[in-house]
Amino acid sequence: MRTIDHAGTYTLGDRQVRRLGYGAMQLAGPGVFGPPRDRDAALAVLREAVASGVDHIDTSDFYGPHVTNQLIHEALSPYSDDLVIVTKVGATRGADASWNPAQEPAQLRAAVHDNLRNLGLERLDVVNFRIHPGHLGRGDHSIADSFEAMAEMQTEGLIHHLGISNATPTQVAEARAIAPIVCVQNEYNLAHRDDDALIDELAADGIAFVPFFPLGGFSPLQSASLSTVAERIGATPMQVALAWLLRRSPNILLIPGTSSVSHLRENLQVADIELPNEAMRALDAIH
């Protein structure tokens, strides 16, 4: 049987991780708030992911809040040496489930300590500074104060590697001038391709690009071309969307999110899918 190894690996800091990883956001309750509907099912998804060879899990303490980190801790600790847990800081949740910016140095430090405690770690493998989206979406404001605080925590040994999320190319460059980054996590999928040039630039420098909403997030991707390609090659549209990302660039690491073991299995089977050139052309035309 083929395995997820067939999708290959890519460098994430000082580690090589498999390109098929897992995003834990869907494990929290509805609206990424509160406990999961089915706690045992959530723990089972995490255990199955790691048992299937996933060695890269994306999370944050603001999922729940605290919920996904505590589930990861319960399901997977003591952690295998191979597992890279990537978390992110930069927001807090209100009692009404709102997402609030927490970008000040003291707030970032508190968030790093929350992540350490809830994941049960002494040092975080990779932490993304997630730039809080403004009401107009991404912007080019300076992130220097926040990212300098992240670099300070790296120097102190609380964080091994740094990354950045929701960042424009200008902000990525500003962060890199402060401290090395190992990954950028931005929205990107078949239908949302603002970062095409950025992905290629990062690939040239050996930096991972980790698309969030690889399947479209809260509105899963739908397209006639996607369905046609899927039918032709005997895969599901979601599998084709992931296979396209794997072929798009070698520095793309996937973290599709799911709360279901059957969807997890389906997503990991993408390692077995080879998209013919003609399918790539049809999919490239979607955006």
Ligand X SMILES: NC(=O)c1ccc[n+]([C@@H]2O[C@H](COP(=O)([O-])OP(=O)(O)OC[C@H]3O[C@@H](n4cnc5c(N)ncnc54)[C@H](OP(=O)(O)O)[C@@H]3O)[C@@H](O)[C@H]2O)c1
- Residue 157 vs 172, nearer CB to ligand X: 172
3 state DSSP class of 106: helix
Q: Indicate whether 174 belongs to the interface with ligand X (CB under 6 A).
A: no
Which residue's Cβ has the minimum distance to ligand X? 257
* 53, 266, 280, 286: which one binds ligand X (CB under 6 A): 266
- Residue 32 vs 116, nearer CB to ligand X: 32
Q: Indicate whether 181 belongs to the interface with ligand X (CB under 6 A).
A: no
- The CB-side HSE value for 253 (13 A sphere, CA atoms) comes to 29
Gap between the Cα atoms of 279 and 223, Å rounded:
14
Q: Indicate whether 199 belongs to the interface with ligand X (CB under 6 A).
A: no
Which residues within the stretch 202-261 sit at the binding site for ligand X (CB under 6 A)? 212-217, 220, 238, 255-260
Total interface residues for ligand X by CB under 6 A:
27
Least separation in angstroms between CB 137 and ligand X? 12
- Told to judge if 188 belongs to the known catalytic residues of this protein, a careful annotator would answer no
* 166, 171, 223, 269: which one binds ligand X (CB under 6 A): 166
- Is 173 in contact with 139 (CB distance < 8 Å)? no
3 state DSSP class of 115: helix
Least separation in angstroms between CB 4 and ligand X? 14
Least separation in angstroms between CB 214 and ligand X? 5
Token pair, residue 154, equals 């790296």
Give the DSSP letter string of 123-174. Answer: SEEEEEEEPPPBTTB------HHHHHHHHHHHHTTSEEEEEEES--HHHHHH
- Residue 8 vs 137, nearer CB to ligand X: 137
Measured in whole angstroms, the distance separating CA 124 from the mean position of its chain's CA atoms is 15
* 115, 154, 267, 269: which one binds ligand X (CB under 6 A): 267
Please, what's the b/e burial string for 18-48 (b: 16 or more CB within 10 A of its CB; e: otherwise)?
A: bbbbbbbbbbbbeebbeebeeeeebbebbeb
DSSP state of 25: G
Binding mask 55-74 for ligand X (x = CB under 6 A): ---x----------------
The runs of H, that is alpha helices, within the chain are 39-51, 67-76, 105-119, 144-155, 169-178, 196-204, 224-233, 237-248, 261-268, 277-284
DSSP state of 272: G
* Of 10, 22, 63, 188, catalytic: 63
Which residues within the stretch 101-160 sit at the binding site for ligand X (CB under 6 A)? 130
Which residues within the stretch 2-31 sit at the binding site for ligand X (CB under 6 A)? 23-26
In the complex, the residues that contact ligand X under the rule CB under 6 A are: 23-26, 58, 88, 130, 165-166, 185, 212-217, 220, 238, 255-260, 263, 266-267
As annotated, the active-site residues are 63
